[in-house]
Amino acid sequence: MRILIAFPAFLILFLCSCQKEVDFANRNSNGNGNGGTKPITLLVKSVTKTGSDSLVTDYTYDANRKLIKMKIKGVDVGTPEDKEYQYFRNSSGILTKYSVIDPDLVAAGIDSLTTIVNYSTSLSKYTGYVVKLIVPGFILLDSAVYVYDGSGKIIEEDLYESPSGSGLDYYFTGKANYSYSNGNVSELDIHDFDQSGAETFTATTKVTYDSKTNPLLFGNEGFPMGHAEWVSVNNFSMEELSDSNGIADSQTVSYTYTYNSDNKPGTSLIAVAPDNIILNSNFYYH
């Protein structure tokens, strides 16, 4: 059983018939501010090991300290990984799109998968995204719309699919609901629907946190970047995952850290039950 530490919500559209192991986490608005009291350190690399498997994630930033690339390579719980995410921004630093390059996509005839991000300059808010997937003999158009509460938090992500790829036959396929506590996303609830409007799948992740600084702080920008785990201000201490497939799919994920002088994780130990998976990570800053 593979844990998905990041869970882009649009994947709901592709995984309806599969077990969903939903993990999300945390970060804050502009990406790493600390009040200007000392130079800000950025997370530039993490190395995660599970038994003999090793997965390396490299992060690249622009001159304004905005994330522009994330490369993941190695073996993740027995599964080879070699992905590259590129984040494109306008002159104001607003995210306009991001692309994913993956050998699995290339094997399917797809050079890359691009997500177009929608942003309202009048509201100063990200409003949703559109994903167009084109493979030989198949086109799929997905989109999402964000719902905000009165305090400016994204509390719902409504998902739509156009099977023809024309945009003329969109139907509502699901939604993700987000709850917050102390600046952190404390619960994620996923609901999938078929074309008749009947709910076909639900999944819930409940999260508790430590009191230290999350090394990737992006706030609402984490949602259009495809990472709901890049929203909150603190680090996971425990996740409780369940879904409509029953107790056989339930999981508990526990996190233990050591911290550096900036109160950011230096190392972590993640224990997944009942799968008996142990992951050890080291974090590197610059």
Distance CA 76, CA 56 (A): 9
Give pLDDT, residue 39: 58
Query: How many C-beta atoms lie closer than 10 Å to residue 246's C-beta?
Result: 8
Tens of pLDDT, residues 252-276: 999 999 999 999 999 999 999 999 9
Question: Residue 143's pLDDT is what?
Answer: 96
User: For 86-99, what is the mean pLDDT?
Assistant: 96
**Percent of the chain's residues with pLDDT above 70:** 86
What total number of domains does the chain contain? 1
Convert the pLDDT of each residue in 109-163 to its tens digit: 888 899 999 999 999 999 999 998 877 777 889 999 999 999 999 999 999 999 8
The reply to whether 14 falls in a domain is: no
Predicted confidence band of residue 206 (pLDDT cuts 50, 70, 90):
very high
Residue at 94: amino acid letter? I
> Which pLDDT belongs to residue 106?
86
Does any domain span residue 79?
yes
**Residue 140 maps to which CATH number?**
2.40.160.150
The residue segments making up the domain with residue 228 are 20-33+40-285
SS3 125: strand
Q: Could you tell me if residue 60 is inside a domain?
A: yes
- Residue 3 inside a domain? The answer is no
Q: Is the pLDDT of residue 217 over 80?
A: yes
Q: Name the most confidently modeled range: 8-12, 18-22, 238-242.
A: 238-242
Tell me, yes or no, whether 5 lies in a domain.
no
Q: Residue 197, SS3?
A: coil
DSSP state letter for 166: S
Tens digits of per-residue pLDDT, 166-205? 999 999 999 999 999 999 999 999 999 999 999 999 999 9
Assess whether the previous peptide bond of 274 is cis (omega < 30° from 0). Answer: yes
11 within a domain of the structure (yes/no)? no
- Residue of 69, 86, 67, 85 lying closest to 219 (CA atoms): 67
| Tokens coding 118 | 């929608």
Query: What mean pLDDT value characterizes the chain?
Result: 86
How far is 185 from 205, CA to CA, in rounded Å? Answer: 10
Q: Kindly state whether residue 15 falls inside one of the protein's structural domains.
A: no
Q: pLDDT tens digits, residue range 12-39?
A: 333 333 333 343 333 233 344 444 445 5
Q: What is the pTM of this model?
A: 0.84
**Is residue 8 a part of any domain in this protein?**
no
